[in-house]
Chains A and B, each alone.
Chain A
Amino acid sequence: MKIVEKYRIIVLLAGVLFFGACAQEESLTDSQLDYTVPEKTALDNWIEANYLDPYNINAQYKWNQNTVDNTRFLFPPMVDKVQPALDVVKQIWLDSYSAVGGSDFVKIIAPREIVLVGGVNSNSNGTRTLGIADSGQRITLFEVDYLNTKNRANVTEFIHTIQHEYVHILNQNKSFDKQTWQKISPGDYTGTWHLENLTVSRNLGFVTNYARNNITEDFAETASIILTSSKAEYAALLASITDPIGKAKLKQKEAIVVQYYKDAFNIDFYALRDAAEINTNKVINN
């Protein structure tokens, strides 16, 4: 027998031993992890029916330290404030985008989780953080306890937060034309935006003081302010700008926003604004 033949059997035997060696009969027991589904409240069922099932978005109102900034002193919203807030978000934001962008639009590009926080997220420089968008996956909304659905200014500020954060998420999916934007008001961005004067900022071609933080915020502010204003309100805003150069700059930014929505998502931006306005009126008047 050749050496190869001779050891073929041994190799085969070794292989069998190798693979069959450590077989041990051990049946699986039940998981030690608690996988019982917690009892659902009416609110939980509402969230499931209005957010989770249609959009695959979870709305988290119970505290979980892993989804909030632990260095901030925040607290969960009052339970009875959760549904009104989520309802406002659904009607003005989700329904408007669905109506204009198609029913699947927000299902595809959307945060997978909305975290609700009751109080103000106050910063040491005296400003408040109204919302945060994390990696396109999660939007945190603050001041849920203070939302008054009958107060237009209050609703607009709240919705402005989610519109603003959602623009970030859209940008994180498809970037806007940063190079062109950068050239519009290159020298006017500042880290101390909160110390600026709104009239001065508008005359420089910024829609808000916060827009002066950087170009990403500028884009999100420009888009979200237009989305939360009626056509007439935005026209009045433009009319209040006395510096023609500033006005031209803001119009140029508006044009980029409109083009971005068209090119990236085939959405008519003005139709979206009109839908949001109709839905806002519906919320306040109901």
Chain B
Amino acid sequence: MKLKNIFRYLMMALLVVHLSACNSDTDAEQKFDVTPTERLNAQKKELNDLLLSSEQGWKAVYFTDDTQLGGFTHLFKFLPGKKVEMASDFDDDTEKYTSDYDVVLGSTVSVLFNTFNRIHLLSDSDNYPTAALRGKGYLGDFQFLYYGQENGDIIFKSNRLVREVRFVKATAQDWVDLEKNLEMEEKVIGEDTRPLFRFLETNDGTTAKKYDFSFSSVTRFSNSEAIDNSGEVISMGIGYTPTGIVVSPAIEVKGQKLTNFLYNDADGSFTATGTAGVSASIKYSNAPLVLTDDYKLLLPGSGNNVYGYIYNLTKFEGANSALFLSLLGNSEQAAGAMLTRVQLWFNNADGTNYIEYRFGDATGATIARRYHYFTLTANATNKTVTFTPGVWKSSTAVGAPAIATPSFLKNLDDQFMNPQGLYFAEISGLGYKAYTFTSTTTPFRMVAYSFQ
């Protein structure tokens, strides 16, 4: 082909390209009517308008991580000028404070509490509830990603741990009642006047299942292990409400998800009720969930066994009940000396049993002793032992005379001599062998070191 022709075709091709180039249909197919910037701006406005729309603001029970922590209730009242009033039940201070907020673009449109307020207390690396959370505080976020609305609630997800946080419209009463959450905390922890044993019971309408309930108030978290030895554990974070608790994750019974528990002041129980007889309750009990045969160690023929409270060892165990510690303190105060031992002796060589109350000075050196003799009967059905009181003495020497009941020991001693009896069971995890004497009718429990 001649050069001329090559040039001609080339020019013609170029012309065709030029003339067809300005086809106006050059845009990529539009999935949306407006540009991404416009959509983001619209979403920001939507969120901000929504936040401002609730007259009494919003309430959120924020479970930062419901695998190890409970819920913290926050109330927010958003004001024009990007101000927000906030209150929280994180600690005793449920007052309202004002700070700033903003609606910003994070990984999506989000609300950010950008100056200090109550919600930031959950994100203090230096204030952590457990050793495992050192440097992480309560794993809290204060930027929440907007995920839309549901039945008038605003659905957010926390910025870092991506947990759902639901903002529910608050009422004026919510602001007034917030401090009641902390009163409820005391009920969840368990009052001294209530029985010592607690369990979580689920009921699917026909059968009930019991779990040993335990709760830590620093983490607001509960672990309850099934008592049927199946190893099943119900773990849940707990948030306080003025009327009860809210848990996360929900307890699932027969396909129903139970989250809201109501408190009953008559018996101190918390109950979540579903439909068709389904429920879950946290209840008190005077009887241990699992009865043991440990009481047989105290019976004649088991040897001269001795178990005792020791002032510089067993006193610090959490299993000592508040009632025991207060009666102990009262006795010490009335006697004017420290009780260094409260030691129970069984099956002595002469066939007797007695409780030895040993008093010491500030260094622990013994200054006096009192002995209360008793006889023992066992109840094989309830697995309890009952002490029948005998004489008091100040010495175990043969022929030592009986003395009058020491008034300073009476109230403490009465708990041991309970006519309804005591439970006696081994307690593990203390680093030494120990048992507990627990009343069958009162919240009295003493940890005793095992001398054998």
Contact = CB atoms under 8 A, between A and B. Distances in A.
A136 interface: no
Interface residues of B, number: 40
A65 B102 CA distance: 13
Contact of A62 (B15, B81, B115, B125): B115
A15 to B, nearest CB: 10
B135 A123 contact: yes
Given A33-B37, A119-B124, A3 B3 contact: yes
B352 interface: no
B137 interface: yes
B421 interface: no
A17 interface: yes
A3 B4 contact: yes
Contact of A18 (B18, B115, B116, B137): B18
Interface in B49-106: 81-82, 99-100, 102, 106
A95 B365 CA distance: 65
Given A32-B35, A32-B38, A14 B11 contact: yes
A71 B159 CA distance: 11
Contacts of B82: 38
B7 A73 contact: no
Contacts of B11: 7, 10-11, 14
Contacts of A22: 21-22
A120 B125 contact: yes
Interface stretch (B139-147, B216-224, B308-316, B427-435): B139-147
A49 B81 CA distance: 23
A76 interface: yes
Nearest to A118: B116
Interface in B419-440: none
A71 B137 CA distance: 12
B114 A124 contact: no
Contact of B100 (A7, A62, A128): A62
Contacts of A39: 81
Given A3-B4, A17-B18, A73-B140, A121 B125 contact: yes
A64 B100 CA distance: 13
Q: Is the interface of A mostly helix, strand, loop or mixed?
A: loop
A124 B15 CA distance: 70
A215 interface: no
14 contacts: A21-B18, A62-B102, A63-B114, A63-B115, A65-B143, A70-B160, A73-B125, A73-B136, A74-B123, A75-B120, A79-B116, A122-B135, A124-B135, A126-B134
Interface in A136-178: 145
Given A73-B124, A76-B116, A21 B22 contact: yes
A14 B114 contact: no
Contacts of B41: 32, 34
A7 B21 contact: no
A40 interface: no
Leading 7 A-B pairs by shortest Cβ distance: A75-B120, A120-B126, A122-B125, A63-B114, A62-B114, A73-B125, A73-B137
B14 interface: yes
Given A14-B14, A72-B125, A122-B126, A21 B116 contact: no
Number of contact residues on A: which range applies? 35 or more
Interface of A: 3, 7, 10-11, 14, 17-18, 21-22, 32-34, 38-39, 61-65, 70-79, 118-124, 126, 128, 145
Contacts of B120: 75-76, 118
Contacts of B168: none
A129 to B, nearest CB: 10
A74 B125 contact: yes
A17 B112 CA distance: 52
Contacts of B124: 73, 75, 119-120
B414 to A, nearest CB: 49
Interface string B4-23: 10010001001100110110
Contacts of B113: 63
A78 B116 CA distance: 5
A218 to B, nearest CB: 26
A143 to B, nearest CB: 9
A75 B37 contact: no
A14 B16 CA distance: 10
Most-contacted residue by chain A among B100, B123, B135, B159 (CB, 10 A)? B135
B81 A61 contact: no
A2 to B, nearest CB: 10
B165 to A, nearest CB: 16
Contact of A73 (B100, B106, B123): B123
Interface in B135-165: 135-137, 139-140, 142-143, 159-160
Nearest to A3: B4
B7 A7 contact: yes
A33 B105 CA distance: 12
A62 to B, nearest CB: 4
Contacts of B3: 3
A128 B38 CA distance: 43
Given A77-B116, A145-B116, 11 more contacts: A18-B18, A21-B18, A22-B21, A22-B22, A63-B143, A71-B160, A73-B125, A73-B136, A118-B116, A118-B120, A122-B135
B134 A122 contact: yes
Nearest to B138: A73
Interface in B296-340: none
B115 A76 contact: yes
Given A22-B22, A32-B41, A65-B159, A73 B115 contact: no
Contacts of A75: 116, 120, 123-124, 142
A3 B125 contact: no
Contacts of B100: 62
A73 B18 contact: no
Contacts of B159: 65, 70
Given A7-B11, A74-B125, A63 B160 contact: no
